[in-house]
Structure 1
């Protein structure tokens, strides 16, 4: 269940991956400490994001292996048959907790808040998704139709996934508590039994709720009408955005809660998150990174596996990785002299590839950071209600 690897060897092979892991473990601890300092429902929410992430990330390759479509590089501590790196446990609170706490400053109407959390979660995720895959921190299935359409080697459905699953988890976390304790304020804790019921419900229903949001948009448009996943994501983005904008423009009370020292620590951790991916694309070389470990099983190139869509269509993908015919340009086998893994291999070396245009990656990540800086600055510093100042009366004769 739990395996360990030599840190020195892993650092020599993938220094950016070790740095990323440390940052996520620290993010988990910072968000946990923040949750306990804030009190109320925040500690339950933090734990809920962890349980939601564990269920979401591991359900597919254990329960529905035909939907198994990504493989992490190895880490100093890795669990569940080398499928779950330790830092991934903290990734979901690093994403969703940050998003939820920042959005809570807006005091949005109930109907808009889950969608805002979904969008901000994507904003936190996107530099990680773009940069980490380029540095072979994990690999994607080559021919899975659900992740075939890419953006800098990131499936467009990865962004769709983070938006919908975060929104779904947030919705069930609060909605389920309203079933049991409807009169208590949103972030005020009820009894322990009520909070644990709510936590378990949201942890279990967050993933199915996210899956259901693929049904009305993505599956008919992509599977039936063959529309690119980029279009379906931006359609989702437009719907989420329209709902959030309406919520922002509605009459609502501004927050009275001033920022505390622990809030600034949380913001500092978020800044580090964005900074490391900018530093990776500026100063590190992906072609120097190599990943030895569990990867997509290698097998005959002509064997296929089937996937059944919610509308009854049958889609196909290769059952095995075909090292002689694949289109995952972020890795190759150059660092091992071009030696490709043989049929039956699951444990082998892959090698990072050079940037086709480093300046483009720098520009993209810089743009994301500018947007994130503006969004989080607004959420943290422009949402506080300003107390009216009393003007001095000028005496007149």
Structure 2
């Protein structure tokens, strides 16, 4: 089984997710424990919910252990249980519930745990208890959700802890489907994912409603990585920017919904374009030229408030629409299709840049020579870069898959070229197109800019206009009629008469051929 075989890559992904899940669980309860200790209060936390969660974790771990499932698939449960013990201890202490009765119940718990682990208590009893872990675990999260809503205070609730819980539960759905396919475990993790996300959402909404919990939320994350601001203040200060962000995010999500609906390679295109946005914006942050572009504050900023989160939705929003439109042009020349995708990306990006720069959604420093020449505030060089980078992305996205999977050729009809291949080939294509297109696009940009502008001194606007004229020539030469289709009809000829009518005479076709 090769690494790039469909089954091979699925199990590799499962192992990676298992390792990430276990690593996340190493610290998942630590933020919650620290929050309770710092505040010396468990307000907003449900004691009954924590105890029910403890029972659910214990039964699930013992069930996996006694059935001999792969240890890596449930290793996080021993880790979670240790942290759960510590968390329950502090919650009981600050709620003044740590008395004689608590120690008696702890002794009963230890006896039952050892009994199941050593097979003194029959494992068949665990089989009967496992179906109850789903409603018990769900009830524990519902009780936590109710505790937050009743107290209207999520100060003691750690957003990181519940975020990790939602993430790890969702990854376990995938790993269990590949490992055992146990329906009871799948139902348990599926419901837990939904409810953990609900608790996280409730805590976030409460955190944004008051200044103190909002500040507490900001303290949960390193400021250099993620910074959160009050959306109401940003809406009052710069409403056009908030509208622009919402438009891009909604557009990106609608594109994702359309990609999932269409199937085939379209979801991989969406993910590849989103990854392209991460790489392009990340390279700008680590590049010395990153100091020349400054964004206005947004609700969520990354990398020391330098990269707004909504930018990562812009790329799939623009790329997906461009590729969809290019696929409908029915171009004969594949080079024309790649060029068309690049031009359509620029066509969507140009008004976006014009409006954003005009309304100070971001600022470009005039001291940077590459950005000095502009058309209605949008730099010519940015238009050229996005054109060649998206052209390279299109070329690599279609050709990398065919190079790895010889059964798929680049000369196939459009509907076949968008049919999904093996998972391994599609994942490698997705990552390869996103990463390599940045380097290839930069090389193409320098190939145009350096000799013509730096050496010969030709203005960038002349270079960009010249490139677009060359592109128009390619279209005129190869594809000016490629998108014209003849209507559905039956073909006719003159096979049933002695000779065809003379040229220029009025005539009617008289011999039909069978329609196929």
Q: TM-score, normalised by structure 1?
A: 0.62
> Is 2:123 the counterpart of 1:22?
no
Q: Residues 227-266 of structure 1 correspond to what in structure 2 (within 5 A)?
A: 227-249=458-480
Cα distance between partner residues in 2 of 1:388 and 1:57:
51
5 Å-filtered alignment, 1:1-397, equals 1-62=225-286, 64-66=287-289, 68-108=291-331, 109-184=333-408, 185-249=416-480, 386-388=487-489
Aligned equivalents of 1:40, 1:157: Cα separation in 2: 34
Separation in structure 2 between the aligned mates of residue 80 and residue 245 of structure 1, nearest angstrom: 45
How far does residue 384 in structure 1 lie from its aligned partner after superposition? Answer: 6.6
CA distance in 2, matches of 1:384, 1:69: 48
Residues 161 and 38 of structure 1: is their aligned pair in 2 closer, same or farther, counting only changes over 3 Å? same
- Within 2, Cα distance between the matches of 1:26 and 1:247? 37
Q: Name the SS for the 1:36 alignment partner.
A: helix
Distance 1:143 1:222 in 2: 17
2: CA distance between counterparts of 1:71 and 1:134?
14
CA contact 2:350–2:378 (8 Å) conserved in 1: no
More helix by share: 2
Is contact 2:338-2:394 (8 Å) kept? yes
Alignment partners' CA distance in 1, 2:252 and 2:417: 23
Q: Is the contact made by 1:2 and 1:80 (CA closer than 8 Å) also made in structure 2?
A: yes
> Structure 1: how far apart are the matches of 2:406 and 2:261?
25
* 1:243 positional shift: 2.2
Contact 1:72-1:84 within 8 A present in 2 as well:
yes
Whether contact under 8 Å (1:115, 1:243) holds in the other structure is no
Deviation at 1:242, TM superposition (A): 2.1
State the structure with more CA Rg.
2
Deviation per residue, 1:209-241 (Å, 9 max, x gap) = 111112332211111122111101111112222
Structure 1 distance, partners of 2:261, 2:376, is 38
- How far the C-alpha of 1:172 sits from its partner, in A, is 0.8
Query: Offset of 1:149 from its aligned partner?
Result: 0.9
What's the C-alpha RMSD, in Å, of the aligned pairs? 2.1
Return 5+ residue gaps in structure 2 as ranges: 1-224, 409-415, 493-508, 511-516
State the secondary structure of the residue aligned to 1:136: coil
Kindly provide the CA deviation profile for residues 320-348 of structure 1, in whole angstroms up to 9, marking residues without a partner as x: xxxxxxxxxxxxxxxxxxxxxxxxxxxxx
1:302-336, Cα deviation, whole Å (9 max, x unpaired): xxxxxxxxxxxxxxxxxxxxxxxxxxxxxxxxxxx
Q: 1:293 maps to what in 2? A: none
**Is the 1:117–1:167 contact (alpha carbons within 8 Å) kept by the matching residues of 2?**
yes
> Counterpart of 1:249 in 2: which secondary structure?
coil
Alpha-carbon distance in 2 for matches of 1:71, 1:121: 22
The alpha-carbon deviation at position 129 of structure 1 amounts to 1.0
- Aligned pair count reads 262
Higher-RCO chain (CA-CA 8 Å, sequence separation at least 6): 1
- Counterpart CA distance in 2 for 1:385 and 1:85 is 48
CA distance 1:385–1:208, shift in 2 (3 Å): farther
Q: Residues of 2 paired with 1:243 and 1:68: CA distance? A: 37
Partner Cα distance (1:205, 1:235) in 2: 26
Structure 1 residue 247: deviation in Å?
3.6
Poorly superposed stretches of 4+, deviation over 4 Å: none
Does the residue aligned with 2:367 lie in a helix, a strand or coil? coil
Relative to total residues, which structure has the larger strand share, 1 or 2?
1
Report if aligned partners of 1:119, 1:240 keep a CA contact under 8 Å in 2: no
5+ residue gaps, structure 1: 255-382
| Cα distance in 1 for residues equivalent to 2:348 and 2:490 | 37
